[in-house]
């Protein structure tokens, strides 16, 4: 049995200070400026991993037998639970109006597009959104998915496959001004489902780079703003956005989208890199509907993991949104 004496409240003050800093990061991450190296956005990529820091500090506090550190650790536990705890809860049960979608960056270096297509189709979604479609691989995806997904639309390197008829397919301009090469990564279409028409967007935002100077995300942020304005101008309801957005939903760089659409209520679904996923940069968002759960699927030939999301529509979506406090 561990005996605690008065010195237990004097030991471990450095650990207690680290606990306070760890509590402040999830609680006040918006206060971290982006003016130098986009440090705020960089922190926001990895907020869920602050839970690991809390566990390490807890073990050190026990070894140090520091009462003050253990008590102070209640603050980062509360902050992390408020920010990320809901994602650990089990998802809602299937309902009559659920729509299942799969989002996957298939990679332009994927050596097995046929196997990738079969793996995605085996998950049984209503919709499949793909990015990094190369011309030489496109025919393989079309042929492999056609038996179960007879409707599809492709614009540039992004595509959408559906069990339901698609209409009004067109490109969405999300190309930053600084990119002069041929570049088409946005698609909009309408799916005519048994639950009504649904406006669908598929997008692949520019990559970000992390270096000694921090996070470089200027093009990604500009593209996110353009996509956000396109969604804001969309008159149809509901709206579902699927894509490789090259960021987590906590990143302020995606605020033009996350301020207008809701994100997954359940599941971390870290999707990148496939070899050791540390962040979910493959996203499913919705407006006038609710993303009730998101999860990863088994790996394919891509450096991303596919993600599958369940969407609650109609009254179920409204009830889910109210339950989530939205």
Give pLDDT, residue 199: 98
Residue 38 in 3-state DSSP? coil
Distance CA 96, CA 293 (A): 15
In the chain, % of residues over pLDDT 70:
88
In a shared domain, residues 215 and 141: yes
In a shared domain, residues 60 and 117: no
Least confident of 30-34, 47-51, 61-65, 292-296: 30-34
Mean pLDDT of 257-261: 96
In a shared domain, residues 315 and 199: yes
In DSSP terms, 295 is beta-bridged to 308
- The string of pLDDT tens digits covering residues 29-38 is 777 776 666 7
From 88, 108, 135, the end of a domain falls on: 88
In a shared domain, residues 123 and 81: no
In DSSP terms, 160 is beta-bridged to 129, 153
| Strongest mean pLDDT among 9-23, 35-49, 94-108 | 9-23
On whether the CB atoms of residues 135 and 148 are closer than 8 A, the answer is no
pLDDT category of residue 27 using cuts at 50, 70 and 90: confident
pLDDT category of residue 79 using cuts at 50, 70 and 90: confident
In-domain check, residue 154 = yes
Give pLDDT, residue 206: 96
Pairing of strands 282-287, 239-244: antiparallel
pLDDT at 50 over 90: no
Q: Output Rg (C-alpha) for the chain, integer angstroms.
A: 22
Q: At what angle do helices 50-64 and 13-27 cross, to 10 degrees?
A: 160
- The string of pLDDT tens digits covering residues 266-287 is 888 999 999 999 999 999 999 9
Task: Tally the domains of the chain.
Answer: 2
Q: How far lies 263's CA from each of 5, 10, 290, in Å?
A: 48, 44, 7
The DSSP secondary-structure symbol of 65 reads T
Beta strand segments in 117-219, E: 127-131, 151-155, 158-162, 166-171, 186-193, 196-204, 209-211, 214-216
Give pLDDT, residue 2: 53
Give pLDDT, residue 6: 58
Mean of per-residue pLDDT scores for the chain = 88
In the chain, % of residues over pLDDT 90:
62
Backbone angles phi, psi at 2, to 5 degrees: -80, 130
In-domain check, residue 146 = yes
In DSSP terms, 239 is beta-bridged to 199, 287
pLDDT category of residue 3 using cuts at 50, 70 and 90: low
In-domain check, residue 93 = no
On whether the CB atoms of residues 280 and 92 are closer than 8 A, the answer is no
pLDDT category of residue 289 using cuts at 50, 70 and 90: very high
pLDDT at 200 over 80: yes
In 3D space, the residue among 71, 57, 58 whose CA is nearest the CA of residue 8 turns out to be: 71
Q: Global pTM?
A: 0.85
Backbone angles phi, psi at 281, to 5 degrees: -105, -5
Give pLDDT, residue 96: 39
Q: How many CB atoms lie within 10 A of CB 178?
A: 9
- The string of pLDDT tens digits covering residues 98-155 is 899 999 999 999 999 999 999 999 999 999 999 999 999 999 999 999 999 999 999 9
pLDDT at 95 over 90: no
The DSSP secondary-structure symbol of 203 reads E
Q: 221: Cβ–Cβ under 8 A, 6 or more apart, which residues?
A: 253
In a shared domain, residues 179 and 315: yes
Give pLDDT, residue 325: 43
In a shared domain, residues 203 and 73: no
In a shared domain, residues 36 and 172: no
In 3D space, the residue among 4, 8, 43, 42 whose CA is nearest the CA of residue 26 turns out to be: 43
Range of the domain at 131: 98-323
């Amino acid at each position: 049995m561990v005996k605690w004496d008065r010195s237990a409240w004097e030991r471990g003050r450095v650990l207690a200070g680290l606990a306070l800093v760890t509590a402040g990061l999830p609680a006040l991450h918006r206060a971290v400026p982006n003016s130098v190296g986009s440090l705020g956005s960089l922190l926001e990529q990895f907020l869920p991993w602050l839970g690991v820091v809390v566990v390490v500090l807890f073990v050190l506090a026990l070894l140090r037998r520091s009462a003050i550190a253990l008590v102070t650790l209640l603050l980062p536990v509360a902050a992390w639970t408020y920010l990320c705890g809901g994602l650990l809860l089990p998802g809602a049960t299937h309902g009559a109006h659920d729509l299942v979608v799969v989002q996957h960056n298939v990679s332009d270096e994927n050596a097995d597009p046929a196997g990738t297509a079969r793996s995605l189709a085996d998950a049984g979604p209503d919709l499949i959104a793909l990015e990094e479609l190369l011309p030489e691989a496109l025919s393989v995806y079309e042929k492999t998915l056609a038996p179960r997904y007879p409707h599809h639309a492709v614009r540039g390197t992004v595509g959408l496959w559906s069990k339901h008829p698609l209409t009004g397919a067109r490109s969405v301009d999300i190309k930053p001004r600084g990119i002069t090469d041929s570049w088409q990564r946005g698609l909009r279409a309408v799916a005519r489902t048994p639950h009504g028409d649904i406006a669908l967007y598929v997008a692949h935002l520019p990559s970000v780079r992390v270096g000694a100077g921090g996070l470089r995300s200027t093009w990604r942020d500009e593209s996110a703003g353009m996509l956000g304005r396109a969604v804001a101008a969309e008159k149809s309801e509901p709206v579902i956005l699927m894509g490789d957005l090259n960021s987590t939903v906590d990143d302020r760089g995606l605020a033009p989208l996350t301020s207008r659409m809701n994100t997954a209520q359940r599941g971390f679904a870290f999707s990148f890199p496939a070899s050791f996923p540390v962040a979910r940069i493959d996203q499913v968002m919705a407006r006038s509907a609710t993303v009730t759960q998101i999860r990863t699927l088994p790996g394919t030939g891509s450096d991303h993991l596919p993600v599958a999301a369940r969407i609650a529509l109609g009254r179920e979506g409204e009830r889910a949104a109210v339950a989530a406090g939205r």
